[in-house]
């Protein structure tokens, strides 16, 4: 490109450039121009470069304040050189290097600027729509990647919290398991003791019922004997000896009955003591049952905690699976970005080949147009010659008319010759006008395709 074209293109992008700067370029000038071209085509400006420098310092653990004067400028220049090299490679310049920034050559600077300007114009003209779609897809991929990274961080944090909670609850779970095992053993022993006591209680109740029945029978018998004694006393006994024997027998019976009553009362007291013991045992059993219910509740709580722990483990496994899926999705997104970049490069190469083909076609059509113009001028000369011949023939015809008056036979021969000549001339003129019409149509088509004005 000429310098005026370069200046006009850069001024059109709001970049103030003059011919002196292109004749004697300085490092600051070319760096600013190249950075503007890079920002125009890739939207990479000073802010992302400085952000990358800051991230590099943070990743390497270097003190930024101490290393700023030593590394910041060089690192930012290297990052700028990397992006400019990629831009130059896309513009079909494979030998772009740091010398073009630090020690620019005027001719090479003009070549580089021409390549950058042509590439930017080409992308704006042919690649804007696919590039916009690809950038939109890339932004969407970046957003999805960021969302996936956020989800991954959140899931990792949840996993850490769950693991910490499991580790924190594990001693309590072990303690509850030991207590549950101990209480289960005690409960089995208490159930066995309860079964033995229940059997003893049932046996004592049966003995108590038997003794009560015997005591009621003896009480009834005593009452009947007392009634008999009263009736006997009311009667006058005629035989004192028999009465004495009866009294002696009755005294013996009473003594035996008293002994039996004493034994019965002792058994009743024993039964009452045993009944009190059974009541205490029942109370102890009630407390044991309450303890068992507490144990059952604790066991249910332990089972719930174990179930919750199992659910947490399942949730953790599910989150790990989601983590792996996020990683696979991230890899697929990176592959999609790489494929999109490859498609963009192929589209750029295809557009460059198409532009070259269009340029060759334009040159060929221009050559054909010039050739058709020359043929048209030749045809115009032929028409003029034919017109002159026609006029000459008409003059000869006039002379023949005069000659016919003097020599009729010669005139008839000349008339036949003139008719033949006129037929040939008419055929040639018709063919000429057909060729001229076809030439006009083809020339108009060329002018429409080339965007040129039809100059007759």
Annotate 339-383 with DSSP letters as a single string: HHHHHHHHHHHHHHHHHHHHHHHHHHHHHHHHHHHHHHHHHHHHH
Model confidence pLDDT, tens digit, residues 404-425: 555 556 556 666 766 777 777 7
Model confidence pLDDT, tens digit, residues 104-141: 888 888 888 888 888 878 777 776 677 677 778 878 88
Domain assignment of residue 159, yes or no:
no
**pLDDT (0 to 100) of residue 396:** 67
Of 280, 310, 327, which marks where a domain is finished? 327
Same domain (yes/no): 109, 191: no
- For the chain, what is the domain count? 3
Same domain (yes/no): 316, 183: yes
Domain assignment of residue 157, yes or no:
no
Same domain (yes/no): 183, 304: yes
Is 302 in contact with 174 (CB distance < 8 Å)? no
In the predicted structure, residue 63 carries a pLDDT above the cut 80: no
**pLDDT (0 to 100) of residue 452:** 46
Report the residue count for the chain. Answer: 456
User: Two tokens at 391?
Assistant: 């006029």
Distance between CA atoms of 387 and 381, rounded to whole angstroms?
10
Model confidence pLDDT, tens digit, residues 3-26: 777 777 777 777 777 778 778 888
Same domain (yes/no): 311, 413: no
Same domain (yes/no): 97, 195: no
Is 149 in contact with 333 (CB distance < 8 Å)? no
Same domain (yes/no): 119, 190: no
Model confidence pLDDT, tens digit, residues 430-447: 777 787 777 777 777 766
Domain assignment of residue 138, yes or no:
no
% of the chain residues with pLDDT over 90 = 0
% of the chain residues with pLDDT over 70 = 84
Same domain (yes/no): 263, 393: no
Distance between CA atoms of 125 and 223, rounded to whole angstroms?
135
**pLDDT (0 to 100) of residue 189:** 82
Same domain (yes/no): 100, 207: no
* Phi, psi (degrees; rounded to nearest 5) at 161: -60, -45
Domain assignment of residue 418, yes or no:
yes
Domain assignment of residue 252, yes or no:
yes
Same domain (yes/no): 53, 199: no
Neighbours of 344 (CB within 10 A): 19
CA 327 to each of CA 320, 334, 373, 387: distance values in angstroms, whole numbers, following the listed order:
10, 11, 68, 88
Domain assignment of residue 258, yes or no:
yes
**pLDDT (0 to 100) of residue 301:** 79
Model confidence pLDDT, tens digit, residues 203-218: 888 888 888 888 888 8
**pLDDT (0 to 100) of residue 54:** 77
**pLDDT (0 to 100) of residue 455:** 39
**pLDDT (0 to 100) of residue 243:** 65
Ranking 164-168, 318-322, 336-340, 392-396 by mean pLDDT, the lowest is 392-396
Q: Taking residues 226-241, what's their average pLDDT?
A: 68
pLDDT greater at residue 450 or residue 111? 111
- The pLDDT-based confidence of 454 (bands split at 50, 70, 90) is very low
Q: Assign residue 3 the CATH number of its domain.
A: 1.10.418.60
Containing structural domain, residue 252? 165-327
pTM of the model: 0.34
Tokens 């802010």 -> residue? 47
Same domain (yes/no): 273, 173: yes
Of 277, 304, 327, which marks where a domain is finished? 327
pLDDT greater at residue 85 or residue 371? 85
- The pLDDT-based confidence of 171 (bands split at 50, 70, 90) is confident
pLDDT greater at residue 340 or residue 401? 340
Q: Taking residues 62-77, what's their average pLDDT?
A: 66
Which H or E element spans position 210? Answer: helix 128-234
Domain assignment of residue 103, yes or no:
yes
* Phi, psi (degrees; rounded to nearest 5) at 188: -65, -40
**pLDDT (0 to 100) of residue 111:** 85
Same domain (yes/no): 282, 183: yes
Domain assignment of residue 378, yes or no:
yes
Distance between CA atoms of 352 and 118, rounded to whole angstroms?
11
Neighbours of 6 (CB within 10 A): 20
Same domain (yes/no): 307, 187: yes
């Amino acid at each position: 490109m000429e310098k005026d074209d370069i200046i006009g293109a850069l001024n059109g992008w709001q970049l103030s450039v003059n011919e002196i700067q292109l004749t004697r370029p300085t490092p600051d000038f070319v760096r600013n121009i190249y950075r503007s071209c890079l920002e125009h085509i890739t939207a990479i400006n000073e802010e992302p470069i400085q952000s990358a420098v800051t991230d590099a310092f943070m990743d390497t653990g270097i003190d930024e304040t101490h290393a700023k004067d030593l590394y910041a400028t060089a690192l930012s220049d290297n990052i700028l050189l990397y992006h400019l090299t990629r831009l130059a490679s896309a513009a079909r310049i494979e030998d772009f290097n740091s010398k073009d920034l630090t020690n620019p050559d005027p001719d090479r600077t003009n070549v580089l600027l021409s390549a950058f300007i042509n590439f930017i114009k080409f992308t704006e003209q042919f690649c804007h729509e696919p590039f916009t779609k690809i950038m939109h897809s890339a932004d969407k991929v970046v957003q999805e990647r960021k969302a996936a990274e956020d989800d991954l961080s959140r899931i990792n944090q949840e996993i850490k919290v769950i693991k910490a909670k499991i580790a924190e609850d594990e001693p309590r779970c072990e303690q509850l398991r030991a207590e549950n095992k101990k209480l289960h053993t005690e409960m089995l022993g208490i159930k066995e003791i309860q079964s033995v006591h229940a059997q003893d209680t049932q046996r004592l109740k049966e003995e108590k019922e038997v003794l009560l029945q015997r005591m009621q029978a003896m009480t009834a018998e005593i009452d009947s004997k007392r009634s008999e004694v009263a009736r006997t006393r009311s009667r006058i006994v005629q035989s004192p000896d028999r009465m004495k024997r009866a009294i002696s027998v009755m005294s013996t019976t009473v003594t035996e009955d008293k002994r039996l009553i004493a034994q019965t009362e002792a058994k009743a007291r024993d039964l009452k003591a045993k009944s009190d013991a059974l009541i205490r045992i029942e109370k102890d059993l009630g407390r044991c049952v309450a303890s068992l219910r507490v144990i059952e509740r604790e066991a249910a709580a332990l089972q719930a905690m174990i179930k919750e722990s199992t659910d947490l483990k399942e949730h953790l496994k599910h989150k790990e699976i989601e983590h792996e899926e996020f990683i696979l999705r991230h890899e697929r997104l990176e592959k999609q970005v790489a494929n999109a970049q490859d498609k963009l490069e192929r589209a750029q190469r295809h557009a460059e080949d198409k532009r070259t083909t269009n340029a060759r076609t334009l040159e060929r059509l221009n050559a054909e147009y010039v050739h058709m113009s020359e043929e048209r001028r030749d045809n115009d000369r032929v028409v003029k010659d034919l017109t002159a011949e026609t006029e000459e023939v008409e003059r000869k015809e006039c002379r023949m008319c005069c000659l016919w008056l003097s020599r009729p036979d010669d005139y008839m021969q000349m008339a036949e010759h003139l008719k033949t000549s006129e037929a040939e001339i008419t055929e040639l003129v018709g063919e000429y006008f057909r060729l001229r019409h076809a030439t006009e149509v083809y020339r108009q088509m060329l002018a429409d395709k080339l965007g040129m004005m039809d100059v007759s």
